[in-house]
């Protein structure tokens, strides 16, 4: 099977699913159709990654798409989390429909926009054109704005509006940065190649360093807004707290990764053009600032979904810091952290979603004794929290250990700040989890709702495995992808 056909399946399946669910998304079997399409997309992405591993990087549809080690695996990760979130979404959204928070038309909108969002993320990863990347990120923004506001409450509409305004400003900055890159590239490349990542990468040493430095700053701010880097992060807690929990899971598990991927592609070009380490220094600075601000913001949170949204900002800051350090160890650690965070944080949101439905509140103080009232949900939440806090032998522990040891040699002044942030985050989240999982709770009324917990424990099992053992094929991918990021 050719790369073009496989790529067509990876991108065509979610697009066809979106069109189909726009018509039948209110049918009682629509959640099953959503999950089935997501499974097919995951299978196609897996075949694409296997073919890339076997035959190396390849172009498709001329030079419009380019598949390499970096984006092939991220496409698999995106499709995997998209599928497991669709499985979680089936009982979750049916319950929301049953209690009146959703209507038939909103269910149709939800399913159609969910698949459109998956399509936009995969398009952003697999395109070889910086302009198409920008368009796909804008499409993802529009789709998730509609998903965040789907409840049509005053709070959800306000959160969606805030998300649209802040990310709209950010994506405008990214557009200006893309235009500046085109300006720099058009002086040394033909017009048709001036926005292709592969062409830009080959000619990066010849690009005007002044123009490229300006372009990178705009792109970092623009796509960094979507990553949730401080101070462009204010949209993220509201969007997580007010939208449906499956959307919180894919925002943390997918959108932030893809936005960081865009930053990394731009960093490779800027490093080659500038040769002064400025892009890495900027990533280290923004990453450390995001880590510290998000960690101390945890102290003030009363809403469980906002609590874990700030945790997502903290971890995106850690990844950005790692990629800013550069070098093979830090880059491998950043990729490992990206993988495990996507899996574990989405699993946490799955358990939080069921806990909120069980108790009827998102207030941390209102959720108590899950281990007694909903044991599988409670233990899933506790194990997920311990994993995301870096308790050994989780994958987060392994990645954070590698980041800290690398920072100790490269930027030793940062290590006390990193340790302080990790200790504070651990203390705050663990304290809340103790009460939520093991605290005293009144005997709840019958629930009559069977939560989808298989995705939770699949994600947690993979996250644990990556802390104990990284398969040779995955380690080879990390190294090859790290080589691409290093330029």
Residue 432 lies in a domain: yes
In a domain, 292, yes or no: no
Q: Is the per-residue pLDDT at 445 higher than 60?
A: no
For 194-252, the pLDDT digits (tens) are 889 999 998 999 999 999 999 999 999 999 999 999 998 889 999 988 989 999 999 88
Structure confidence at residue 1 as a pLDDT band (50, 70, 90): very low
Pair 215, 336 in one domain? no
**Does 382 share its domain with 318?**
yes
Is residue 293 assigned to a domain? no
pLDDT bin (cut points 50, 70, 90) of residue 449 is low
The pLDDT of residue 101 is 86
**Are 311 and 449 found together in one domain?**
yes
Q: What is the pLDDT of residue 487?
A: 64
pLDDT band at residue 16 using 50, 70 and 90 as cut-offs: very high
Find the range with the poorest average confidence among 52-56, 77-81, 108-112, 423-427: 52-56
pLDDT tens sequence across 380-422? 999 999 999 999 999 999 999 999 999 999 999 999 999 999 9
Residue 444 pLDDT exceeds 70? no
Whether the model pTM is above 0.85: yes
308 and 245 fall within a common domain: no
Mean pLDDT across the chain, nearest whole number? 91
pLDDT number for residue 307: 95
> Are residues 325 and 459 both part of a single domain?
yes
- The pLDDT tens digits for 183-210 are 999 888 877 788 899 999 989 999 999 9
Do 457 and 389 lie in a common domain?
yes
- CA–CA dist 405, 271 (Å, integer): 23
What pLDDT was estimated at residue 256? Answer: 93
User: Residue 442: is its pLDDT beyond 70?
Assistant: no
Question: Does some domain include residue 344?
Answer: yes
pLDDT at position 10 is: 95
- Residue 26 pLDDT exceeds 90: no
Same domain, 255 and 399: no
At residue 210, the pLDDT reads 93
124 and 165 in a common domain: no
In a domain, 311, yes or no: yes
The total of structural domains in the chain comes to 3
Question: Domain range for residue 232?
Answer: 153-276
State whether 5 and 66 are in the same domain: yes
In this structure, is residue 284 part of a structural domain?
A: no
Q: Would 43 be classed as within a structural domain?
A: yes
Q: Is 144 a member of any domain?
A: no
């Amino acid at each position: 099977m050719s790369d073009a056909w496989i790529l067509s399946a990876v991108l065509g399946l979610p697009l066809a699913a979106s069109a189909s669910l726009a018509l039948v998304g209110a049918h009682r079997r629509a959640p099953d159709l959503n999950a089935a399409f997501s499974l097919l997309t995951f299978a196609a992405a897996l075949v694409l990654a296997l073919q890339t591993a076997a035959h190396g990087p390849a172009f498709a549809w001329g030079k419009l798409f380019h598949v390499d080690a970096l984006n092939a695996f991220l496409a698999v990760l995106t499709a995997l989390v998209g599928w497991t979130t669709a499985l979680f979404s089936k009982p979750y959204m049916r319950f929301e429909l049953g209690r009146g928070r959703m209507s038939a038309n909103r269910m149709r909108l939800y399913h159609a926009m969910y698949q459109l969002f998956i399509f936009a993320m995969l398009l952003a990863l697999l395109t070889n054109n910086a302009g198409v990347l920008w368009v796909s990120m804008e499409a993802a923004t529009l789709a998730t704005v509609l998903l965040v506001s789907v409840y049509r409450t005053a709070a959800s509409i306000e959160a969606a509006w805030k998300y649209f305004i802040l990310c709209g400003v950010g994506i405008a900055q990214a557009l200006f940065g893309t235009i500046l890159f085109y300006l720099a590239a058009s002086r040394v490349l033909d017009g048709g190649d001036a926005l292709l990542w592969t062409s830009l990468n080959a000619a990066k040493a010849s690009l005007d360093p002044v123009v490229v430095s300006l372009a990178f700053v705009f792109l970092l701010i623009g796509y960094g807004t979507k990553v949730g880097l401080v101070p462009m992060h204010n949209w993220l807690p509201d969007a997580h707290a007010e939208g449906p929990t499956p959307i919180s899971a894919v925002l943390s598990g997918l959108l932030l990764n893809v936005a960081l991927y865009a930053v990394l592609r731009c960093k490779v070009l800027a490093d080659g053009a500038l040769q002064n380490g400025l892009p890495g220094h900027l990533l280290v600075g923004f990453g450390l600032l995001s880590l510290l601000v998000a960690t101390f913001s945890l102290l003030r949170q009363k809403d469980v979904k906002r609590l874990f949204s700030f945790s997502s900002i903290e971890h995106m800051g850690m990844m950005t810091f790692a990629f800013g350090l550069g070098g093979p160890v830090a880059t491998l650690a950043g990729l490992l952290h990206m993988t495990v965070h996507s899996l574990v944080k989405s699993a946490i949101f799955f358990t939080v979603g069921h806990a909120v439905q069980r108790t009827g509140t998102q207030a941390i103080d209102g959720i108590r004794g899950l281990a007694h009232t909903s044991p599988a949900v409670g233990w899933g939440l506790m194990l997920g929290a311990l994993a995301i806090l870096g308790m050994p032998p989780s994958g987060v522990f392994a990645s954070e250990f590698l980041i800290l040891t690398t920072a100790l040699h490269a930027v030793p002044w940062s290590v006390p700040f990193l340790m302080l942030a990790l200790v504070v985050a651990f203390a705050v989240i663990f304290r809340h989890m103790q009460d939520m999982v093991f605290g005293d709770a009144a005997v709840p009324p019958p629930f009559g709702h069977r939560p989808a917990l298989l995705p939770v424990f699949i994600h947690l099992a993979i996250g644990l495995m990556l802390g104990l053992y990284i398969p040779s094929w995955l380690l080879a991918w990390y190294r090859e992808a790290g080589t691409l990021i290093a330029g």
